[in-house]
Structure 1
Amino acid sequence: MTIHTTDKEDINLVVRNYVIGMVSADEALLRQAFHPSCYIIGHYHGALEWLSLDDFVSAIKIEGPAASDAKPFWEIKSVDITGDAAAVTVVDDYIGMRFTDYLSLLKINNRWVIINKLYYYHD
């Protein structure tokens, strides 16, 4: 299977929707970026989090959107695509915290979605 330029563009859009959705507490964007059965996993303030998408969206909504003058920051460090599977490393800021996210994506019905997020919280 050949990697199409549109695959990278589509994956970049998924990552953008994820970060913008998180920073703006936009449930629709988050649900568009993630597969409904995904998990968000990492240590947050020393405690292991193993969240479903519903739990993750609820936590984001409780925090609320970032300050209106805050510019979202994210930098895609790597994208590795093999057929209909992809791995993306992205560094992003969320309400004053920096994370490195390892996103697993799968192309389902011609649409890329995040199926799992493993993160590192930079204390």
Structure 2
Amino acid sequence: MEKPIYVKEYKEIENVLVNYYGKGGKEAKSEIMKPGFHEKAEMFSVDEKGKLVGGPVRESLFPVIDNHFRPSPEAEAVIVYIDINGTAASARVDTNDLSGFCFTDYFNLLKVEGKWLIVNKIFHTNYAE
């Protein structure tokens, strides 16, 4: 039997997505999220008018989490997939009821100096119709 590959990496990425990103969102505290992101990480989305918005997470994500989100213990998230190849990975996370919003997040992660970090996030906000 062949030794399974990427199990350790999958669990490390899952940890970043659940215990840094997810927990930080639920508690509305960017300080919990920050260790899961590379210092050069960026985030982008399209607003309700169809315009591209975003930039460095230190300017576009962390202030929003700290100043506009509220703790959301009722929020639920599921990792839809994690795709790994060597030191690169992508993941999708769907979240419901995070500070009153539902999100679909797509993450790109790299294993930098032995540690998986989010380097890019794009997302869609699922507004109620």
Count of equivalent residues: 120
1:8 aligned to which of 6, 10, 17:
10
Structure 1 unaligned segments of length 5 or more: list them. Answer: none
1:58 maps onto 2:58 in alignment:
no
Percent of aligned positions that are identical? 24
Task: Work out the CA distance in 1 between the residues paired with 2:28 and 2:85.
Answer: 31
Q: 2:108 is aligned with what amino acid?
A: S
| Counterpart contact for 1:106–1:113, Cα < 8 Å | yes
TM-score, normalised with respect to structure 1? 0.88
Task: Work out the CA distance in 2 between the residues paired with 1:65 and 1:57.
Answer: 13
RMSD after superposition: 1.6
- Report what 1:112 is aligned to: 116
1:28 maps onto 2:31 in alignment:
yes
| Counterpart contact for 1:21–1:27, Cα < 8 Å | yes
Structure 2 unaligned segments of length 5 or more: list them. Answer: none
Task: Work out the CA distance in 1 between the residues paired with 2:17 and 2:70.
Answer: 18
Task: Work out the CA distance in 2 between the residues paired with 1:12 and 1:98.
Answer: 20
- Between 89-98 and 107-116, report the one with greater CA deviation: 89-98
Question: Which structure 2 residues correspond to residues 74-85 of structure 1 after superposition, within 5 A?
Answer: 74-85=77-88
1:96 maps onto 2:100 in alignment:
yes
The alignment partner of 2:106 has SS state of strand
Moved runs in structure 1, 4+ residues, more than 4 A?
A: none
The alignment partner of 1:79 has SS state of strand
- Report what 1:86 is aligned to: 89
The alignment partner of 2:74 has SS state of coil
The alignment partner of 1:21 has SS state of helix
TM-score, normalised with respect to structure 2? 0.84
Task: Work out the CA distance in 2 between the residues paired with 1:4 and 1:30.
Answer: 24
Q: 1:108–1:3: structure 2 CA closer, same or farther, 3 Å change rule?
A: farther
